[in-house]
Amino acid sequence: MSVLGIFSRRPKKTAEAARERLQILLAHERAGLSGADFLPQLQRELIEVIRKYVSVDEDRVQVKLEREQHLSVLEVNIELPAPSERRN
Amino acid sequence: MSVLGIFSRRPKKTAEAARERLQILLAHERAGLSGADFLPQLQRELIEVIRKYVSVDEDRVQVKLEREQHLSVLEVNIELPAPSERRN
């Protein structure tokens, strides 16, 4: 399945359809049980990098971190301003 | 479906199972047809941020950018060094 399929099949409420959105999924598969989990730190820096391209409103950023034995997944959803407010 | 499901259902060859891996999926849903596509630039900076946490070997980085009318998805797969080679 192409990765486009993961995102385009997501059900969208009509109001949502008109908005721009950036979704980041970051999965860290660890071989052993140890292995530091650097996703929480990485998350803050990722948002800082994105701020260079679009203005990011704190209230429109949703972050979810899920963790299993060998797998951590960070999900960041950012609702973007309309193109007219964009920086580039 | 939890996002963990997206990554944990992926079929893994036995050799793969022993390695650490970081997978980034970054989807940009654009409202209008215009709207700059900043994913290619963002991609380089994301890898630079990740380098602060783990050493990234250029040959072990795979990048795929897929684009539809309103949706661009960037997929970055990074095979990580064994924990013993890690920086933190």
What is the rounded distance in angstroms from the CA atom of residue A33 to the CA atom of residue B1?
A: 25
Whether residues A68 and B30 touch (CB distance < 8 A) is answered with: no
Question: Where does chain B show beta strands of DSSP type E?
Answer: 20-29, 61-67, 71-80
Name the residue facing B83 among A22, A35, A46 (closest C-beta). Answer: A35
Which chain A residues are closer than 8 Å to B35 by Cβ?
20, 83, 86
Class level of CATH domain B24-85: alpha beta
Q: Please write the tens of the pLDDT for every residue from A23-36.
A: 999 998 887 665 66
What does the pLDDT average to over B80-85?
Answer: 68
Return the CATH number of the domain spanning residue range A3-85.
3.30.1070.10
> Which residue stretches of A9-53 are H helix?
14-17, 39-51
ipTM of the complex: 0.75
Please tell me which residue of chain B has the smallest CA distance to A36: B88
A81 pLDDT higher than 80: no
Domain ranges for chain A = 3-85
Beta bridge partners of B66: B73
Q: Please write the tens of the pLDDT for every residue from B42-81.
A: 888 988 998 888 888 888 999 998 888 888 899 999 998 7
Q: What is residue B75's predicted lDDT score, i.e. its pLDDT?
A: 92
Whether residues A83 and B31 touch (CB distance < 8 A) is answered with: yes
Which chain B residues are closer than 8 Å to A54 by Cβ?
38
